[in-house]
Amino acid sequence: MRRTIALFVVAMLLLVPTIGSANPNGVGDGTFDAQCGGACHGDADMNRSSASSVVVSGPSTAYEGLPTSVEVTVSNIETTVSGLLGIFLLSDLSGAGDTPADDGWAIVSNSEGGLQNYVEVLIEPGQNEHTVSWTLRAPATGNYELHAAIHHGTQDGSEAPFFGSSLEPIQVNVVPVPEDLPRLSPAFEPPVARTVGEVTSVQLSTQAVNVVQVEWRVSGGPVQTASVVQVDQATWEFELPASLQPVTVEWRAHLQGEGPEQSTPWFALQSENPSWTVDETAAYVQSLAMLLLFMVAFMSLQRRDEDPIETTKEDAFALEVEH
């Protein structure tokens, strides 16, 4: 009985670190407040100031409900041996309730192929600068600020994490949309992810548009032109070719109509290898079943080891009685 209890306690101790462990290799892309700059590693008050420079840039004017683009550039980069660097786009630096969504902005895509305000990028050895861009749908009319922040660990993985932020935010004045402005429909949602080897067909829904031209590029590559077909008065369709490996494809549309010609921001489409989904509950149940099987097998072996000893003692006692 004691052996069974001991084995059960050991099994639980083995499972607990797996379920409740920290994330020393990053937390992954997500929607986070600036507070995560410290809380992801521990107490935010223990942060140290990063020597890296953080600059956020973008247009000073945006149209209500229409997409616009913002960039965050980190230079003089310092990071861990793993090269992970976390970058935030924020509505302020209060530490809580400061994501762009808290001010009414909607993230349409980012250059890392996601919809989050926080991304983790891998910095190559010797790389001194990195830029991440976000395409945002503007909130209601008014004046807004957008900030940026970063966090990273130390080279040896010890002590408190580093945190840094932009010295100056960008000021964005969101104005009403002119009636004749060529534009994308507010309901249009661009695709942000696809599988490697998959051709992507995109349907653009527009307003006040007579002509559409589309450009695309593999991130950092030359710009190419896509063939655009008009489906109906307000809908246009084009295809982005399949990629042979995980890459980010960027595209934008030039829209012409009665009003001044408009160009959309670059939208990011991430090509990814087919993913295998794992049911975590089933995995834990299977692990527990394997542990129980191991415990039963171990106990069976212990009993087999004990039986010969007991038999030998009985035989020795019998021999002493005979003599």
pLDDT for res 22: 38
Which residue type occupies 85? L
pLDDT for res 17: 42
Burial tier of 254 (Cβ tally within 10 Å: 0-12, 13-18, 19+): middle
- Segment 317-323 mean pLDDT: 49
Instruction: Kindly indicate the confidence band of residue 142, based on its pLDDT and cuts at 50, 70 and 90.
Output: very high
Q: Number of helices and strands (H, E) in the chain?
A: 3, 21
Q: Is 151 helix (H, G, I), strand (E, B) or coil?
A: strand
Alpha-carbon distance of 313 to 310, in angstroms, equals 5
Instruction: Kindly indicate the confidence band of residue 160, based on its pLDDT and cuts at 50, 70 and 90.
Output: low
The label of the residue with tokens 């402005």 reads 181
Q: Is 107 helix (H, G, I), strand (E, B) or coil?
A: strand
b/e sequence 102-124, b meaning 16+ C-beta within 10 Å? ebbbebbbbbbbbbbbbbbbebe
If one compares 51 and 140, the residue with the highest pLDDT of the two is 140
Residue 8 has pLDDT above 70, yes or no: no
Question: What is the sign of the dihedral through the CA atoms of 110, 114, 116 and 120?
Answer: negative
* Structural contact between residues 214 and 223, judged by C-beta atoms closer than 8 angstroms: no
Provide the mean pLDDT of the chain.
81
pTM: 0.71
Alpha-carbon distance of 214 to 230, in angstroms, equals 12
Could you give phi then psi for residue 159, rounded to 5 degrees? Answer: 60, -170
Lowest mean pLDDT among 36-50, 148-162, 271-285: 36-50
pLDDT for res 269: 92
pLDDT for res 43: 47
Residue 321 has pLDDT above 60, yes or no: no
- Segment 20-38 mean pLDDT: 64
pLDDT for res 307: 54
Instruction: Kindly indicate the confidence band of residue 316, based on its pLDDT and cuts at 50, 70 and 90.
Output: very low
Query: Which CATH topology does 25-177 take?
Result: Immunoglobulin-like (2.60.40)
Residue 45's alpha-carbon distances to 21, 33, 116, 162, 307, in angstroms, are 22, 15, 25, 11, 61
Kindly report, residue by residue over 96-133, the tens digit of the pLDDT: 889 999 999 999 999 888 889 999 998 888 889 999 99
pLDDT for res 84: 87
| Residue spans per domain, the chain | 25-177, 178-275
pLDDT for res 20: 39
Query: For the CA atoms of the chain, what is the radius of gyration?
Result: 29
Residue 318 has pLDDT above 60, yes or no: no
Top mean-pLDDT range of 10-14, 17-21, 96-100 = 96-100
Kindly report, residue by residue over 203-243, the tens digit of the pLDDT: 999 999 999 999 999 977 899 999 999 999 999 999 999 98
Residue 255 has pLDDT above 50, yes or no: yes
Could you give phi then psi for residue 119, rounded to 5 degrees? Answer: -130, 150
Instruction: Kindly indicate the confidence band of residue 49, based on its pLDDT and cuts at 50, 70 and 90.
Output: confident
Q: How many residues does the chain have?
A: 323
DSSP secondary structure letters along 31-91 = ---TTHHHHTTS-GGG-EE--SEEEEE--SEEETTSEEEEEEEEES----TT-EEEEEEES
Residue 88 has pLDDT above 70, yes or no: yes
Residue 296 has pLDDT above 60, yes or no: yes
If one compares 316 and 148, the residue with the highest pLDDT of the two is 148
Q: Is 303 helix (H, G, I), strand (E, B) or coil?
A: helix
pLDDT for res 289: 72
- Segment 48-54 mean pLDDT: 87
CATH of domain 178-275: 2.60.40.10
